[in-house]
Amino acid sequence: MHNRYSIKPLFALAAFALLTLAAYWPGLQGGFLFDDFANLPALGATGPIDTWPTFWRYITSGAADPTGRPLTLLTFLLDANDWPADPFPFKRTSLILHLLNGVLLYALLAKLGQSLVVETRRYQTAALLGATLWLLHPLFVSTTLYIVQREAMLPATCALAGLLIWLHGRGHLTRGNIRSGLIWSVVGLGGFTLLGILAKANGALLPFYALLIEIIVLKHRHAMPSGRAKLVHRGVMWILGVIPAAAILAYLTRIAVLGMLHGDNVGIRPWSTTQRLLTEPRILLDYLSLLWVPRPFSSGLFNDQYVASTSLFHPATTLPTIIAVLIMIGGAWRLRKHYPAWSLVILFYFAGQLLESTSIGLELYFEHRNYVPALLMFWPLGLWLANTRTLSSLKRGLMIVLPLGLALMTHVSTEVWGNVHAQALIWADINPNSARAQANAAQVQMQAGHPYDAARRLEKLLTTQPDQVQLAFNLIGAHCMTGGITPDDIAAARTAMRDSTNTGSLFANWFDRTLPAAVAGDCPGLTPVVMLDLINDGLQNPKLADAGQQQDFLYMRGRIALAQHQPDVALTNYLRALDLQIRPGFALEAAAMLGAAGYPTQGVQLLDHYQRVKDQVLPPDFGMPMVHEWVLTRQNYWPHELTHLRATLREQMEEHTTPTWQSPVDTHTPSGQRTSPANQ
């Protein structure tokens, strides 16, 4: 009987994988988005990655999490080794990874089902349906087709593979194979937790998942025999399960307590830690509604309009959702023996949200945070449908209708992801109060030659959100295309700069695009003096007092001075900026800029100043930045680049020429900030 039914689900899984491929195919034609531009240019930051030195510089260049997420960076090399690049290979690889995760999920659900259900046919069918419904769900389009979110997909791969290997090792221990059981268990729990962390920090939650499976599904049904095997298993679960899980809970609790006591996030986020903790239960229930009542279009990548809870009673849904979440968690734990599948699904989901939906000061809401937590979500439904002893016709019909319905919604969604213009306008309609969504739609409209439509869109929201620099600066861009800016446009931009809490890289990118037009007089009303006033407003904004942002502003002042042929003023600004954060990359960038403008003498003076103060360079942050610095030191990278630039500048001084100079470092954001519309 086992052989008769074991092969059929595999054919069915292959068919559903092809259905997923067809549903996602239109989205592979889409482009890069937002955080893609903040992360992927590292592929070419120090040249094409075609040698071991450039490989090690790239793989250690990550700044997100203490680990830098090198596993994610490594997978990007499957798609390109330089920048700019074609987005299609990146999206194709992400889709292949999504399909792989679906196969691994089927294997895990079948393994779990085998522990709960006697009939082979039922647990295999349940595993097939649970994996398929997850694989085809439209909520995960924004994870799979948003290239940078491969960092959210890889922890799923590591969690699934790690759990399967750990279960394999546990089986060996159950049969008395101590040595092999120990090795497999350690590799599964320890090795794949480490790999998951190297992809993204939430890979550290694998021990929670294993503990839940152990307690809810295996402990009473497949107890470990007494003796050495039991001691080994218990040791593995304590060392690689309980202790890491307890450490994570202690860490999150510490952040919560310190945040509530000291009011962190002030000036960085528009909400406090307390408000975040009050808000997340509302968001979690919203996630669950999206999972169980799927729809082809959701808010997508734009959730900056989400209103934080300011108390238990504002909004009114705050307290009820907190109570609902506590009841779900408590009820799932209490009923774990009677309803193990549902209990595991609920507790697995909330465990998967621990790092990104509790006390750590990330942005409030992102759909991709459900990718791993929802892995088991549809397995209980699959178990119910697979039991065809009752309601046979209904259940068999649902087995066909549900996957096809999800595939249709996913296809509709991916068609939008494959069309940048339509995507921007639809997201803007869904998120009318999102400054990011409206600014993105306005940019797309301007690129399509519709600046008047873009201006109307921006003006409408700017009246209610005057501190949004993305609205004010894009409005200037739109009006430049329609004949010039007005004093009201300038006043709005200055107000936004004075009140903004974080301009991120947005102002720097806008400045790079707009300065040439201001210098050339291509936009009536916009002059270098106007841009200088905006920069000075930013320098005086106490909410933008971060050394990195201040350095960016001073760098821009230097750029304006160069455009006005004032090299000494430019040098003064560059020196002030360098002293704020002494970094060799900035010294190279500013000196190269002086040389490119025809002022090599000032460029050499800047390098001389850096040589005098370079011993004051702040040590790198703990984690991958330390490793990256070690790699650069080992390669003698900065001394080599500085020597090369100094020689070029001196040659320029001797020849009295003004060559076009391109800095050896990334010029996109002078302070080296990895900023974007969304902090993941």
Could you report the per-residue pLDDT of 578-602, keeping only the tens digit for each? 999 999 999 999 999 999 999 999 9
Interval 257-266 mean pLDDT: 76
Burial class of 442 by CB neighbour count within 10 A (0 to 12, 13 to 18, 19+): buried
Quote the strand ranges of 413-487, DSSP E: none
Interval 50-75 mean pLDDT: 94
Indicate if the pLDDT at residue 161 is higher than 60: yes
For residue 502, the model assigns a pLDDT of 82
Interval 60-72 mean pLDDT: 93
pLDDT band for position 269 (50/70/90)?
A: confident
Cα–Cα dist 445/11, whole Å: 46
User: Residue 34: which of 534, 454, 470, 411 has the closest Cα?
Assistant: 470
As given in the structure block, the two tokens for residue 313 are 């009673």
User: pLDDT tens for residues 479-533?
Assistant: 999 999 999 999 999 999 999 888 877 888 889 889 999 999 999 999 999 999 9
354 residue type, one letter: L
- Within the chain, all domains assigned CATH 1.25.40 are found at 431-655
Interval 43-56 mean pLDDT: 93
Cα–Cα dist 200/155, whole Å: 7
Interval 435-446 mean pLDDT: 92
> Is-contact 341 380, C-beta < 8 A?
yes
For residue 63, the model assigns a pLDDT of 86
pLDDT band for position 220 (50/70/90)?
A: confident
pLDDT band for position 38 (50/70/90)?
A: confident
Interval 65-88 mean pLDDT: 95
CA distances from 670 to 58, 265, 384, 604 (A): 18, 24, 57, 19
User: pLDDT tens for residues 296-319?
Assistant: 988 888 888 899 999 999 999 999
User: Residue 288: which of 383, 356, 374, 408 has the closest Cα?
Assistant: 374
440 residue type, one letter: N
User: Residue 23: which of 403, 575, 528, 532 has the closest Cα?
Assistant: 403
For residue 265, the model assigns a pLDDT of 56
The winner for highest mean pLDDT among 192-196, 261-265, 466-470, 613-617 is 192-196
What does DSSP assign to residue 224?
P
For residue 221, the model assigns a pLDDT of 85
Cα–Cα dist 650/65, whole Å: 41
Which segment of 5-14, 121-130, 163-172 scores lowest on mean pLDDT?
Answer: 5-14
For residue 619, the model assigns a pLDDT of 86
Question: Mean pLDDT score of the chain, rounded to an integer?
Answer: 91
Interval 234-254 mean pLDDT: 96
pLDDT band for position 656 (50/70/90)?
A: low
For residue 674, the model assigns a pLDDT of 34
Interval 53-72 mean pLDDT: 93
User: pLDDT tens for residues 324-355?
Assistant: 999 999 999 999 999 999 999 999 999 999 99
Q: What percent of the chain has pLDDT over 90?
A: 79
pLDDT band for position 555 (50/70/90)?
A: very high
For residue 124, the model assigns a pLDDT of 92
For residue 6, the model assigns a pLDDT of 63
Q: State the Cα torsion 225-227-230-233 to the nearest 10°.
A: -130
For residue 2, the model assigns a pLDDT of 44
For residue 621, the model assigns a pLDDT of 84
Indicate if the pLDDT at residue 662 is higher than 70: no
What fold does the segment set 431-655 form as a domain? 1.25.40
